[in-house]
Structure 1
Amino acid sequence: MFKKILLTFTILTLISCNASKPIIVTSKNAPLKSKSEIVRTTKKNPPKGTVISKPIATNQGRVDSKNNETEVIVSTSKTVVTNDVIKMYIYQFKDIAMGNMKTYGIPASIILAQGILESGAGRGDLAKSSNNHFGIKCHVGWTGESVKHDDDAAQECFRKYDNPSESFRDHALFLTGRSRYAKLFTLSKGDYKAWAKGLRAAGYATDPKYPDKLISYIDRYSLHEYDSMVLDPNFVSNEKQLVKELTVETRTVATNGLDSYIVQKGDTLYSISKKFELKVEDLKQKNNLSDNTLSIGQKLVVK
């Protein structure tokens, strides 16, 4: 009898132990759930790493795009240009700008920067239709030709010139001949920042950012180098490097659809024909030239 009672007690004890196993399984599942949460958290970390790397990719893209950067110039018209077009413009008119600086006392850097901004680097509507590179309106006393163009008001009167060099000369006469610009000529010719701010203060433009835009072009394209060349004959600049770069850009632009060229100091029909891979006779025929005479600022058809 005692043996039966002992056997029964042993069986009940075993059954009781087995009944606790599900509790053990449940407690093991809890850590598994927490591990899966850690895994999910770990998976969220890589995107953070990706975000950190994005600025690197973006900066690299900016560096690459800078070689062919496009910008919109808004003056009397909205013009889309590239760095190549602006460099071509500088190459074409730097000698005229330096000549005007010597004659009239206006910094060459300011002249070039205003030309770039006001004419859309020669690609704006006024520049193409009337050779007006500085957005100068007719004003009282103008007796030359004119064109109508929408600006602050509809169909305003703007001056028209036979060639760009006339526009550059008239710009100099415009500034030197009006009393409101007199303070400009008390400024140092080497202080292009003061000149840029002075033009805005004198009322040349209503855009509050006008000085910043001019200064930006001067800094980006080292236009102040031309001021230094005029002010100090012994100044050693990067002119050779600048001309080399601009010449390369000129050739690049010339082979990419440029259909006209402005005659510069020292140009000949032969040198221009070589630049645009034309025969001299073909160049003369395209422009109805009877001889080899050229004038600075003359526009030639080269395509």
Structure 2
Amino acid sequence: MKKIFTFCLFILILSKVKAQSTEDYIAEHVNHAQELMRIHQLPASLILAVAIHESAAGKSKIAKYLNNHFGVKGENSSAEIRSAYRDYPTVDSSYNHFVSFLHSRTYFNVLFGKYDQYDFRNWARGIQRGGYAHSRTWSSQVIALINKYQLYLYDERPDDYTEPVPPVSEVAVKKTTSRGRIKSSTKKTNIYTVKKGDNLNKLAERIGTTSAALMKKNGLKSAALQPGQKLKL
């Protein structure tokens, strides 16, 4: 009898763990995220990824006890935990407040006129620049979650949508002078990650070059591209 009870308890624990998976969290909240996307024109993928990041996919204490899925600080009336984070009557109200918070701050509100509901990368970077989080890798982590769980599939992108080419980044390069001294210079590089549906000819046209030039620059023997492949543009 004791063995049966232990086995049942083990099955119950497993079912609870499964119910707390990130995939289940996404399925539970994607509809509301998409509703907000259609009203406010910001990516549903971004909303979901920020919530997953800030609430540990609903498993954090402030998510469980305060319905706070975006790490927003403020007063709360909880008798269950002591926290510097505000509480919400429902999870949906936490989602709603996240969007209204972005609208209420000038440095976030400008993003609504700058980026569309498909450009999750620039949305994440723009929110980080506005000071939403202290971590310098916050936007990278959010973008990684979007890619890992393919959250961009919920953004209702047109079939012919092409992601903007990332801006040119500058990296410091050290050069040796004729006298053996090292001097610093700046070299512009642009590394592009190939997305599903990308075409080498189209990429070349967008940056004002040819597919042959891109193939030579990247040492490619074929024009066929694979998602995740890195290209020097």
Runs of at least 5 residues in structure 2 that lack an aligned partner in the other structure = 1-16, 161-233
Question: Which structure's CA Rg is the greater one?
Answer: 1
Please state if 1:204 is matched with 2:140. no
- The residue that corresponds to 1:105 in the other structure is 41
| Alpha-carbon offset, residue 196 of structure 1 | 1.0
SS at match of 1:184: helix
Matching residue within 135, 145, 148 for 1:220:
148
Q: 1:148 to 1:135 in 2, by over 3 A?
A: farther
Q: Is 1:192 paired with 2:120?
A: yes
CA 1:191–1:158: 2 relative to 1, 3 Å: same
Aligned-residue sequence identity (percent) comes to 32
Alpha carbons of 1:107 and 1:149: their partners in 2 closer, same or farther (altered >3 Å)?
A: farther
**Partner deviation per Cα, 1:14-66 (whole Å, 9 max, x = no partner):** xxxxxxxxxxxxxxxxxxxxxxxxxxxxxxxxxxxxxxxxxxxxxxxxxxxxx
How far residue 94 of structure 1 moved from its aligned partner, in angstroms, is 0.5
1:164 and 2:100 matched = no
Mapping of 1:25-64 within 5 angstroms? none
Q: Count residues in correspondence.
A: 143
TM-score normalised according to structure 1 size: 0.43
Which is richer in helix?
1
Aligned-residue RMSD, C-alpha:
2.7
Match of 1:112, SS state, is: helix
Cα distance in structure 1, aligned partners of 2:18 and 2:51: 15
The corresponding residue for 2:169 is none
In structure 2, C-alpha distance between the alignment counterparts of 1:190 and 1:130, rounded to whole Å:
30
Which residue identity lines up with residue 104 of structure 1 in the other structure?
H
Q: Distance in 2 between matches of 1:149 and 1:205?
A: 26
Structure 1, unaligned stretches of length 5 or more?
A: 1-80, 139-143, 237-303
